[in-house]
Structure 1
Amino acid sequence: PVLLQKNGLEIALTTHGIKDKKTFRENLAKVIERGLSKRDALAALTTTPARLTGAADQIGTVEAGKLANLVVVEGDYFDPKAKIKGVWIEGRWNTLEPENLTWIDKKKEEDQEKDEEKKKEDDTKEDKPDERLARSPIEENTVLEPTAVLVRNATIWTSSKRGVLKKQDLLIADGKIKKIGRNLQQPENAHVIDAEGKHVTAGLIDAHNHSMILGSVNEGTLPSSAMVSIGDVVNSESPETHRQLAGGLTVANLLHGSANPIGGQNAIIKLRLGQGPEAMKFKAAPPGIKFALGENVKQSNWGDDKTTRFPQTRMGVPAFHENRFTAAWQYNRQWRSFREKGGAPPRRDLELETLGQIIQAKRWIHCHSYRQDEILAFIRTMEKFGVRIGTLQHVLEGYKVADEIAAHGAGGSCFADWWAYKYEVIDAIPYAGSLMRERGVVVSFNSDSSDLARRLNLEAAKAVKYGNTRQAEALNFVTINPAKQLRVDHLVGSLEVGKDGDFVIWSKHPLSTATVCLETWIEGKRYFERNEGIARAEARSKEREKLLAKVKSKAKKDKKTDKDKGSEDGRAAFFRHALEMAHGLGVINCQDCKIETE
């Protein structure tokens, strides 16, 4: 309730679903302890449910003319120990005091009082009262939001035509870059950062990320799942958001998996830690969709029982693509005819509607691809329908057909140095990115990994080692180039006046293995600061130790009282990973659940 209320949603509280209704006020007290004000709690029990049920003109407040429905409490209603003396219902008094209720079995009441006294005695034997050890993760998210930010005396990697600027200042106000130069005037109330000896880059951008997604990334039951959207499962509670901010990442292209020739729609996000899924979405970014080629889509190595879905061969993949785009072209024509001539509207088809947007150049394809023959076949198939591909993802043999990729206008979002992990990548080489760049392809290095997304700057550095790409151009592989591929380079990807204030402060040269990310800013707001991150990790470690100690103590007591499997089930439930943390990996427990309690 606290989270819902703080996010601007109306809440109403109910006893529905509670087995023992007597525990309602105890539960309510816990909610208040966790941050819900008594005023809001009272509204959730009175005015809000009255309004939601359309009865606010009769109930919900104590006013002349309304029904005389009242609760009489001996003390504070929100104190579970305060006794409710009775209730007025439409002007009739109903006592709840035991001595005035003739229908109560006195013997039963006496037995109950004895049980309560015994329970109190047992409680006093405890070393200390039960206390709430776990902290709300919301308390950890501290975002600095100054009116202006002035970074002084930094080495600024602009990722633009201005190149690398030494001993320069960067001024950001109202979320936008205002000026870059020497000895800039400090605005009133500006947050000033002395960056002497430090380096500043644009926020890093990952053109292929699966981290902040709730559950599995593949809807692989059909060869085309164009109707599904990653935007519906953005996981704003993923711990990866903070981890990847700690590596300087500010924008991520969340992609569907590569299980089918035509996958689901993407979601481009900014890593606005602490915001909800909708607020994390990069609204200005044009929509995209995942496609795939190769072994995955023809279900190679899926198992003998996974051989019924079309296509089952490489030659079936372009045939399937051509089939669906033909259907989408016809679908678009039907709607165009309806708009021009009227009549009955065509039946809406969410899959064909999405594919039709590609033909209309309103949605960009990001296609998983490995082999040069399949890359060429896919380019030719799309050109039949006048479609320009957004990016070829991984594109491991793209160096063999770099001229054709450049001529088509597709970007190459590559692995930096992945090779030999399965047979269809046998010809992959770490020089691919540098070679394609030399032939005119806009190249980026992506992560496709929650781990690599935390150090994309070091992935970019590999282009220097493999291919002698200039350092500034190598950094572009994770800044302006992926921004171009996602069609957001007018807003992010470089440090230029008028663009979003997304930047990273590094302790040393951004491509050095010795550098660390000190601060990460998005639109003039600081979402990561290294010292705060270290303090946060230490606080979490101490919190974990206290929780484990509490669990061990409770487990010992349970052994004395629980003789059935109930205690084991409770133990497993305690350690089960929440879906927001499991990220579709099938993780339901961890080594902690095996802690010794002897």
Structure 2
Amino acid sequence: MKRFFPFLFLLIFVPKIKAQEYFPNNESVQSKNNNYTAFTNAKIYITPTQIIEKGTLLIQNGKVVSVGATVTIPKNATTVNLDGKSIYPSFIDMYTNFGVEKPQKSERSRLSQTYDTKRQGYYWNEHIRSEVNSYESFSYDNKKAEEFLKAGFGMVGSHIADGVAQGTGALIALNNDDTANKKVVSNQITNHFGFSRSVASNQAYPSSLMGMIALVRQMYLDMDWYKKGNAIAKDISLEALIKNENLVQIFTTEDKLNSLRAAKLGKEFGLNYILKGGGNEFERIAEIKSSNAKFIIPIDFPEAYDVSNPYQASQLDFSDLRMWNQAPTNLKVLSDNGIVFALTTDKLKKMEDFRTNLLKAIQYGFDKTKALEALTTVPAALLGKSNEIGNLKVGAYADFLITSGEVFDKKTILYENWVQGTKYVVNDITAKDIRGNYDLKINNDSYKWVVKGEISAPTSEIKAIDSTKVNSKLTIANNWVSLILKDKDSTANKFNRLTTYLDANTTLSGKAISFDGKESTWSATKTGPFVAEKKEDKVEKNNLVLPIMYPNIAFGNTQKPTQQTLLFKNATVWTNEKEGIVQQTDVLVKNGKIAAIGTNLSDANATVIDAKGKHLTSGIIDEHSHIAISNGVNESGHNSTAEVTIEDVVNSDDINIYRELAGGVTTSQLLHGSANPIGGRSAIVKWKWGAAPDEMLYKDQPKFIKFALGENVKQSNWGNNNPTRFPQTRMGVEQVFTDYFQRAKDYDESWKKYNASSKKNKEKAPRVDLELQTIAEILNKERFISCHSYVQSEILMLMNVAEKFNFRVNTFTHILEGYKVADKMKEHGVGASTFADWWAYKFEVNDAIPFNGPILHNAGVLVAYNSDDAEMSRRLNQEAAKAVKYGNLSEEEAWKFVTLNPAKLLHLDDKVGSIKVGKDADIVLWNNNPLSIYAQVEKTIIEGVVYYDSEKDALKRTEVAKDRNLLIGQMLDEKNKGMSTQEPKKKAKKEYHCDTLEQ
């Protein structure tokens, strides 16, 4: 036993000594070592495109000293022969939270919300955290660093991803040497923004995406104003923004549409954000390309769904199936379109998925050289550090990988990752190949021993002379062999332990410790070479990738539809003009306009449509809609949010758009909700299915804003945990209007006075306030109010306030007690956009009647029927018919309730709302009288483009079913191959209404 303990001591410590290998790891030595290290005979990738086939890399003090085919190696250099190996620059991930923690999450409830910050000397909104510097709370995480190092990364950008303005990020070297003092390469290199609230703040505003966008706008305006010396008080947040405006600006978007929004916001202020995308950029690649933005792209491809249960599978949204199928092509699509991007590990469940997913992207066509650029030279350039990182040029940091071969080959082994000249061993590069057949002897016992598998991870098979299999386990670390085998004569779990150190000898021999502690010797003589099993390399077959559709969901188009010349023959035409409803009439559509109306029309270039027995109308216009809005219809954080606009958050991927077209709707006003007395600005859109959000916006649209009265604005139905935001009473609502109009009046006068001053260059400019600026537009009759309303007393109140400030309310929407004050409305000059027959769904509509619309109409008030609901909007033709039932109106007048009248309310009747030569060709072909419950849309056309066709719709349904079955089959195949799958989840779609609040 005295001999055993020294041997055990040697077994424990010798591997650590050998781990020094060719570069001493002793701290006292390494910290003072100024010697050179030369790596010779390697294939060296100086950059992804500058390659030396048989070169030498010389490093000293953590930097590249020389690199090339012929390098003079100093006498005091440690030389490492890497014959047959490759050297690459280490990877860079410029978007991580390495070494930093998010602020502690505050209690989130409406009761705990605050409306004003208590911070002194900082920006008025706590979600602006531009003064935060990640390096100040940075703590190097060795364990997490090892994950990055094993994946090939040498440098990471790190920041605290919290808030709208998130502060600065640092550049960190993943140097696990505890004596290194260069881990923070740059303490402030990036400045970060995002569409997210701070988890540490309970400040209510912003509560929506449009609020966050408006906050960014106001922040930049305030920064410019502050920079010019106009402010009196010190603002630490704005000073940090100014100080950091020359840093690399990164905006986290996480989605293709948000990327377009952020890029647009950047251009507004002359900024070139680097956008951290979401991996779905391929779905809007033309718009992404035209943004000219550079990107940081995650590759967290979704796992296949477990669709083995057909009932669960049926709950999956078609868009989720398509995303799984198409996501691996994103990098190729971006690259093919010339978009500059770096890659990030962000959002990955585990670091090992990074290589797996990257190889998958390469398998789907992503170029390997582009892949290497996206991990080295591109992030280095984006960070402005091309002279220091991302390459192996002279003077750059000695950050490099040593591999067994081509870095993106599945069989390639990553041996070492050097960062700032410090080695991190991933796999033992010195491992010797002991694979083969051996005669094994332990004392007087003989065995047949076969070693196979991989060089770095061999496996052992041992049989006794009588061919009995003996359980064994072989491990090799730092050239030390450890073999454990069960004693051949024992039925119990008794094991013998064999060890030896690998040297130049062909015969293996060493000490053996038997299960009973006795020490002896063993030897193994090689009798035959290792012969690898002949396996045909399986070429992984890619799944058939479905073509991109616009939008990339069910019923999208593989090509965006184009404008046509169309000739409708012999239709019943509802003109909404003095001609009324005309029979057997032709309508020619050309260049997006109604070109001619009459009989016997012809055009050689037109597609002729037989409309005999069918009805042609102008498109339905919905004055009050909440569909196709991203991340919040209400900005409920303040009692006035006039600065926000729905135009910023139009969602072109909402399936409700297609349903609207199927119901004959061509134009809608997307209104802010009714959570506050003064809401946000609206967006008037044409439902151009497949187009990008900005393409849907009505060109040069009239300016509108949503106001609201009643229960919602005073938070009557917000539950027991409602905050005590002012106002809480109806008289408080009136006071809000009076106060804000007076403030806006004063604000407007201050700017007029300043602009008229001859000394304005010397005077301090007023602060640009987007909220008051918008309200001032109402006073100046440049913006119209559409007001959510129910009760007659409040309707009268707002008209009185408007007249006090010398303007008129444009539209009362809902207006279910309008019939009580129809004469006053007529006198004021306000229109009504109401429901046909909604009543008694809450207290303030108890007096609603279905005769409301006709009564208002007969009193001379301009009346429209609106939806306020995704379902109702696609059957507004039937809502119009109710005006005939309840008001005995003519069919023609009833039809105007959903066409010409809302066009007039929106001040668009010179372009749409009727079929008249010169107007936009926004028309609908029906198979029956449009007021009939049996009427179905055959074609919906906007500006001469057919966006809905009932015949094509039938084909699309067949295609969707076919594609769905194809994708389910692909996922079943993935599961059968043993690939990871995820549980099917039904995508909960949030339908917005006036009172919908974001969580």
Q: TM-score, normalised by structure 2?
A: 0.49
SS in 2 for 1:242: helix
Q: Distance in 1 between matches of 2:869 and 2:407?
A: 48
Find 2:566's aligned residue among 149, 172, 179: 149
Q: Distance in 1 between matches of 2:656 and 2:574?
A: 26
SS in 2 for 1:315: helix
Q: Distance in 2 between matches of 1:154 and 1:438?
A: 31
Q: Distance in 2 between matches of 1:354 and 1:113?
A: 73
Q: How far off is 1:541 after superposition?
A: 3.2
SS in 2 for 1:319: helix
Find 1:28's aligned residue among 355, 361, 378: 361
Find 1:362's aligned residue among 777, 782, 790: 782
The equivalent of 1:399 in structure 2 is 819
Query: Structure 2 vs 1, CA of residues 411 and 113 (structure 1 numbering), >3 Å: closer, same or farther?
Result: farther
Find 1:419's aligned residue among 814, 835, 839: 839
The equivalent of 1:110 in structure 2 is 455
Q: Distance in 1 between matches of 2:689 and 2:808?
A: 34
Q: Distance in 2 between matches of 1:136 and 1:315?
A: 54
The equivalent of 2:395 in structure 1 is none
Q: Kindly report structure 1 stretches of 4+ aligned residues shifted beyond 4 Å.
A: 36-57, 77-84, 101-109, 111-114, 120-124, 132-135, 545-558, 583-588
Q: How far off is 1:287 after superposition?
A: 1.6
Q: Distance in 2 between matches of 1:121 and 1:232?
A: 55
Find 1:231's aligned residue among 605, 623, 647: 647
Query: Structure 2 vs 1, CA of residues 350 and 103 (structure 1 numbering), >3 Å: closer, same or farther?
Result: farther
- Is residue 311 from structure 1 mapped to residue 727 from structure 2 by the alignment? yes
Find 1:172's aligned residue among 589, 597, 600: 589
Q: Distance in 2 between matches of 1:493 and 1:537?
A: 31
SS in 1 for 2:707: strand
Residues 189-247 of structure 1: CA distance to partner in whole angstroms, max 9, x if unpaired?
x2211111110000110000001111221111211111211112111010111111111
The equivalent of 2:904 in structure 1 is 484
Q: Is the 8 Å Cα contact of residues 634 and 997 (structure 2) preserved in structure 1?
A: no
Residues 136-172 of structure 1: CA distance to partner in whole angstroms, max 9, x if unpaired?
4437325542441111111110112221111111111
- Is residue 474 from structure 1 mapped to residue 891 from structure 2 by the alignment? no
The equivalent of 1:505 in structure 2 is 925
- Structure 2 unaligned segments of length 5 or more: list them: 1-280, 293-338, 391-405, 414-426, 435-452, 460-531
Q: Is the 8 Å Cα contact of residues 508 and 514 (structure 1) preserved in structure 2?
A: yes
The equivalent of 1:6 in structure 2 is 286
Find 1:163's aligned residue among 566, 574, 580: 580
SS in 2 for 1:347: coil
Matched AA of 2:681: Q
The equivalent of 2:742 in structure 1 is 326
Q: Distance in 1 between matches of 2:588 and 2:370?
A: 41
Q: Distance in 1 between matches of 2:688 and 2:538?
A: 45
Q: Is the 8 Å Cα contact of residues 298 and 310 (structure 1) preserved in structure 2?
A: yes
Aligned-residue RMSD, C-alpha: 4.0
Higher relative contact order (CA 8 A, sep 6+): 1
Find 1:214's aligned residue among 608, 611, 630: 630
* Larger of the two Rg values belongs to structure: 2
The equivalent of 2:791 in structure 1 is 371
More strand by share: 2
Give the paired residue count: 542
Q: Aligned ranges for residues 268-307 of structure 1 at < 5 Å?
A: 268-307=684-723
Q: Distance in 2 between matches of 1:492 and 1:273?
A: 18
Q: Distance in 2 between matches of 1:160 and 1:80?
A: 70
Q: How far off is 1:176 after superposition?
A: 1.0
SS in 1 for 2:797: helix
Q: Distance in 2 between matches of 1:447 and 1:479?
A: 13
Q: TM-score, normalised by structure 1?
A: 0.80
Q: Is the 8 Å Cα contact of residues 501 and 521 (structure 1) preserved in structure 2?
A: yes
Q: Is the 8 Å Cα contact of residues 143 and 527 (structure 1) preserved in structure 2?
A: no
Query: Structure 2 vs 1, CA of residues 516 and 48 (structure 1 numbering), >3 Å: closer, same or farther?
Result: farther
SS in 2 for 1:14: strand
Matched AA of 2:655: P
SS in 2 for 1:424: helix
Query: Structure 2 vs 1, CA of residues 22 and 313 (structure 1 numbering), >3 Å: closer, same or farther?
Result: closer
More helix by share: 1
Q: Is the 8 Å Cα contact of residues 198 and 506 (structure 1) preserved in structure 2?
A: yes
Query: Structure 2 vs 1, CA of residues 312 and 280 (structure 1 numbering), >3 Å: closer, same or farther?
Result: same
Q: Distance in 2 between matches of 1:38 and 1:156?
A: 60
Matched AA of 1:148: T
Q: How far off is 1:305 after superposition?
A: 2.6
Q: Is the 8 Å Cα contact of residues 158 and 202 (structure 1) preserved in structure 2?
A: yes
Residues 530-587 of structure 1: CA distance to partner in whole angstroms, max 9, x if unpaired?
12112222332344445456667767887xx99xxxx7xx32xx52538xx5456999
Q: Is the 8 Å Cα contact of residues 573 and 585 (structure 2) preserved in structure 1?
A: yes
Q: Is the 8 Å Cα contact of residues 288 and 364 (structure 1) preserved in structure 2?
A: yes
Q: Distance in 2 between matches of 1:520 and 1:112?
A: 65
Q: Aligned ranges for residues 188-203 of structure 1 at < 5 Å?
A: 188=605, 190-203=606-619
Find 2:875's aligned residue among 451, 455, 478: 455
Find 2:954's aligned residue among 520, 534, 547: 534
Q: Is the 8 Å Cα contact of residues 802 and 809 (structure 2) preserved in structure 1?
A: yes
The equivalent of 2:274 in structure 1 is none
Q: Distance in 2 between matches of 1:422 and 1:458?
A: 24
Q: Is the 8 Å Cα contact of residues 213 and 583 (structure 1) preserved in structure 2?
A: no
- Is residue 185 from structure 1 mapped to residue 602 from structure 2 by the alignment? yes
SS in 1 for 2:940: strand
Query: Structure 2 vs 1, CA of residues 40 and 248 (structure 1 numbering), >3 Å: closer, same or farther?
Result: farther
Matched AA of 1:16: T
Matched AA of 1:295: E
Query: Structure 2 vs 1, CA of residues 8 and 421 (structure 1 numbering), >3 Å: closer, same or farther?
Result: closer
The equivalent of 1:93 in structure 2 is none
Matched AA of 1:441: V
SS in 2 for 1:7: helix
Q: How far off is 1:494 after superposition?
A: 0.8
Q: How far off is 1:487 after superposition?
A: 0.8
Q: How far off is 1:378 after superposition?
A: 0.8
The equivalent of 2:543 in structure 1 is 131
The equivalent of 1:353 in structure 2 is 773
Q: Distance in 2 between matches of 1:39 and 1:153?
A: 61
- Structure 1 unaligned segments of length 5 or more: list them: 61-76, 85-97, 589-598
Q: How far off is 1:26 after superposition?
A: 2.7
Matched AA of 1:176: K
Residues 452-461 or 341-350, more deviating:
341-350
